[in-house]
Amino acid sequence: MLMAHPAVLKDLVERYESLRCPSAEDARSRQRLEDVEYTLCVSTGTRDVEAALRAARARLQHSTLHATLLSA
């Protein structure tokens, strides 16, 4: 399976979190949230947003650890 670059995943998670805030309740924000949810699922090979977020966060944690080990 292809893996999304950590920078892409980080951006998607950040966008998801910002769109989930209570002030983002207009139709355009809801559509953008749905688009981000879909892209997170496709990028992580999952079918629901909670699994996508877990997978994205795990990948980000792994990439950070890997980068730390390489720079040590």
d(CA 38, CA 44) in angstroms, rounded, equals 10
Structure tokens at 24: 């983002």
Q: What is the pLDDT of residues 8-56, one digit of tens each?
A: 999 999 999 999 876 667 888 889 999 999 999 999 999 999 999 999 9
The pLDDT of residue 64 is 77
pTM of the model: 0.83
pLDDT at 72 over 90: no
For 17, half-sphere exposure in the C-beta direction (CA atoms, 13 angstrom radius) is 9
Q: By the 8 A CB rule, do 12 and 40 touch?
A: yes
